Amino acid sequence: MTAHDAVEVIIAKRGGGVLSDSQIDWVIDAYTRGEVADEQMSSLAMAILLNGMTRPEISRWTAAMIASGERMSFSALPVPTADKHSTGGVGDKITLPLAPLVAACGVAVPQLSGRGLGHTGGTLDKLEAIPGWRAALSNEEMFAQLRDVGAVICAAGDGLAPADKKLYALRDVTGTVEAIPLIASSIMSKKIAEGTGSLVLDVKVGTGAFMKSLPDAQELARTMVDLGTDAGVHTVALLTDMSTPLGLTAGNAIEVTESVEVLAGGGPADVVSLTVELAREMLRGAGRDDVDPADVLASGKAMDAWRRMIAAQGGDPDAALPVARESHVVAAPSSGVLTRLDAMAVGLAAWRLGAGRARKEDPVQAGAGVVWHARPGDTVTAGQPLFTLLTDEPDRFDRALASLDGGYDIAPAGTPFTATPLLLDRIS
């Protein structure tokens, strides 16, 4: 590998130049090994934030991050594989019913997931509310479970894209999280290294999402789809609304309960709709669009796959889930039509109740969270329960209530209401 100088690379990008393949390969490798200092990489990250990167640059940057670690392969499995990644939202429990549903349709799902940070929930935190369930699996355990069950949701091992782990932590403290080339390469380096045959991206848009505007979300989605395509992975992105939280719950155990309701044939309509739509995209990418996931969901086969998946990772699918020690009901202040329920307000309330964390090492409360008893478009009556707040620590209620203040609107009865579509765009 050609040796370069960190200052030379920083100056090239600071001046709006295009980094060469050799410069990119060297700086990622040298940073992973500790030869490039954090302050130097933070300068480069800021230059990327301000000046952007070309498609070939982002593709090479992603390939270099993949090359910093191992690359998995599921080609020995007897069925195709498909994965899904969400950019994160509030009440976004879709992975929980989706993975067993797609597995029940004959496509294996190697779902590497993460933990929550701030107002967005983490899939692993939700599943860890199930007694006995464990997130850490070896590659051998993961492969065996995919072969036997067809679905696995687990933590990514340290061997996948270690350069990304180091750079992600740096971006978090240097004001460079928003750089789209770095967001896209962070997500896609892990997903490509994971070795899935096809990938569906759920890019959230709105107040409760990382991307607040549709144009920004479209740019991120297009960048990630290009990266997947350049790496030979069939990749599609759906842009979905996150101005309103998904379903009726935001929290860990309560989102598991809602997911099981979906697998049992019930659950909120928006969660069911998005689960089925993402399943269709995953099946299409894996060459199995002859199967209708809506029929499979109704048959109960997805519930069977869920139970096997949870049990395979040490969990008891029949165990009672943790329940918060304290609850507080927020009543509707007036009668009329609920016209707005802000996803960020709900997400912050759930976080402040203990369902999320401010730092990666913080613990979470399994039973904490928010239940909302109406969705935009519903008629409400003054005094009826609008929210139920759940926590083990009652001194958390005041800050959660402050988060919800101004987070919803009730209009007079008869006010026309038009719901925002759940699916906003599709990029392939």
* Parallel, antiparallel or unpaired: strands 423-427 and 234-241: antiparallel
Tokens read off for 412 = 């007079």
Dihedral sign of CA atoms 332, 333, 339, 345 in order:
negative
280 given a catalytic annotation? no
Strand-pair partners of 323: none
**Options 186, 189, 198, 403, the catalytic residue:** 186
Tokens read off for 41 = 């990489």
CA dist 372 and 126 (Å) reads 18
**Options 4, 13, 119, 190, the catalytic residue:** 190
**Options 92, 164, 230, 241, the catalytic residue:** 164
75 given a catalytic annotation? no
Tokens read off for 235 = 């990749």
Closest C-alpha to 36, from 24, 28, 25: 28
**Options 4, 84, 93, 171, the catalytic residue:** 171
164 given a catalytic annotation? yes
CB 364 within 8 A of CB 125: yes
**Options 4, 60, 84, 85, the catalytic residue:** 85
Token pair 């850490």 in the structure block, residue: 136
84 given a catalytic annotation? no
Strand-pair partners of 425: 239
85 given a catalytic annotation? yes
Residues labelled as active-site residues: 85, 164, 171, 186, 190
